Structure 1
Amino acid sequence: MRLRLPDRFFDYLPWAAATLLVAGVVHIVSVLLMPTVAPRDAYARLLAAAGSGATNTLVVLPPMAPGAEPLPFEDPAFAEAVCLFDLSKGLLRVASNVDGDDYLALSFHALAGRLFHAVTDRAAIKGKIDIVIGDARQIDALQAASEEAPPQEVRLTAPTKRGFVLVRSLARRPSDQARARARLASVTCERFDPPKD
């Protein structure tokens, strides 16, 4: 008896399905592992751009040039600064005065680059952005030390001890680039020691 084409198709169908399933699993696993095993993740790129000893201080990044961006897919209309933090040295305070006319955005990232909080100038209270970052133990101790008085700042619990804060200021026109960079210089990023009672 001679096999017809549909019979052969059904003979190879389980093998084809298994091949597609294995290829799909390998693809999904490799995509999910890529941020973990990539040697030049966001933190490593920003550390190289800011300098190795620049933790817990704000460093204004140089203007973007084609092929020399610290991070991929950046918008050249933004002036950028970075604050690499290490919470093993203590709490970190990020503060800025904002005027409401010029766009300013702060994004808080864990060590691998994962975003855990973001805020813009629209969230400022009375013209100020004031954020304290710490690990869970540090934030709990800060909450316990100031239970009677309401906090005057936003308190963030970072998922990792090290990470970075990316600060972006919009230059509406190319001629506004110097003004946008000056706005970045007004942002402070420094170690925070809670007041002692």
Structure 2
Amino acid sequence: MRLTLPDRYFDYLPWAAATLLVAGIVHIVSVLLMPTVAPRDAYARVVAAVGAAPANKLALLPPMAPGAEALPFEDPAFAEAVCVFDLTQGMLRVTSNADGEDYLALSFHARAGRVFHAITDRAAIKGKIDVVIGDARQMDALQGASDEAPPQEVRITAPTKRGFVLVRAFARRPSEQTRARERLAGVTCERFDPPKD
């Protein structure tokens, strides 16, 4: 029996499907691994942007200029500051006053740049934002050391020992950039030592 042309195409169909399946798997794996193996990940770019600023201290980023952005996808309507943290040196406390009028946002990023928590001035308690960051072991120790009273701060467990906090203040008009940067200067980012019993 002689094969016709369409029958020959059906012989190649399983090979074509297998090739597409393997190509799809390789593509998905490479996209998922890219943040981990990229030489200039988010953490490296933030460290380069703040220069010699020490860990666990807030550093203002330079005003955004076209072609000279410190971080990708920056919005010129925001003034930005970064606090690079290293939890091997201890827990971190980030505090700020919030007046309810001026937008202030904090996003907490793991070593690879993934956001693991975010908070805005709307979450302020009695006009104050107070956040403590630690790894799982540090948070367990803090929970065990605290008394029965509920904590007054937001406690966040970081998935990695190193990362950064991006603080953004909104300026409604370009003329308000200086005021937005002054609001960022009022944010504190410092090492937190839990109270001893």
Pick the TM interval, shorter chain.
over 0.9
Cα RMSD of the aligned pairs, angstroms, is: 1.2
Question: What number of residue pairs does the alignment pair up?
Answer: 197
Tell me the amino acid that sits aligned with residue 100 of structure 2.
G
Measure the CA separation in 1 of the matches of 2:24 and 2:146. Answer: 52
Q: Which residue of 1 aligns with 2:135?
A: 135
More moved, 37-46 vs 16-25: 16-25
Q: Which residue of 2 aligns with 1:196?
A: 196
Give CA-to-partner distance per residue, 1:93-115, whole Å, 9 cap, x none: 00000101111000011111111
Measure the CA separation in 2 of the matches of 1:156 and 1:28. Answer: 31
Per-residue deviation, 1:2: 4.8
Measure the CA separation in 2 of the matches of 1:112 and 1:125. Answer: 30
Give CA-to-partner distance per residue, 1:64-86, whole Å, 9 cap, x none: 11222122112111111000000
1:122 is paired with a residue whose SS is helix
Q: Which residue of 2 aligns with 1:62?
A: 62
Q: Which residue of 2 aligns with 1:97?
A: 97
Per-residue deviation, 1:54: 2.1
1:150 is paired with a residue whose SS is coil
Q: Which residue of 1 aligns with 2:14?
A: 14
1:25 is paired with a residue whose SS is helix
Give CA-to-partner distance per residue, 1:43-81, whole Å, 9 cap, x none: 000001112442100001001112221221121111110
Measure the CA separation in 2 of the matches of 1:14 and 1:158. Answer: 46
* Uncovered stretches (5+) of structure 1, i.e. residues with no partner: none
Q: Which residue of 1 aligns with 2:114?
A: 114
> Structure 2 length as normaliser, TM-score?
0.96
Give CA-to-partner distance per residue, 1:167-190, whole Å, 9 cap, x none: 011111111111111111110000
More moved, 95-104 vs 10-19: 10-19
Measure the CA separation in 2 of the matches of 1:3 and 1:39. Answer: 54
Measure the CA separation in 2 of the matches of 1:125 and 1:53. Answer: 30
Q: Does the aligned pair in 1 maintain the 2:56–2:86 contact within 8 Å?
A: yes
Measure the CA separation in 1 of the matches of 2:30 and 2:17. Answer: 20
Q: Does 1:147 align with 2:147?
A: yes
Runs of 4 or more above 6 Å deviation:
none
> Structure 1 length as normaliser, TM-score?
0.96
Q: Identity over the aligned pairs, expressed in percent?
A: 82
Per-residue deviation, 1:18: 1.3
Per-residue deviation, 1:3: 3.5
Per-residue deviation, 1:195: 2.0
Q: Which residue of 1 aligns with 2:77?
A: 77
Q: Does the aligned pair in 1 maintain the 2:62–2:70 contact within 8 Å?
A: no
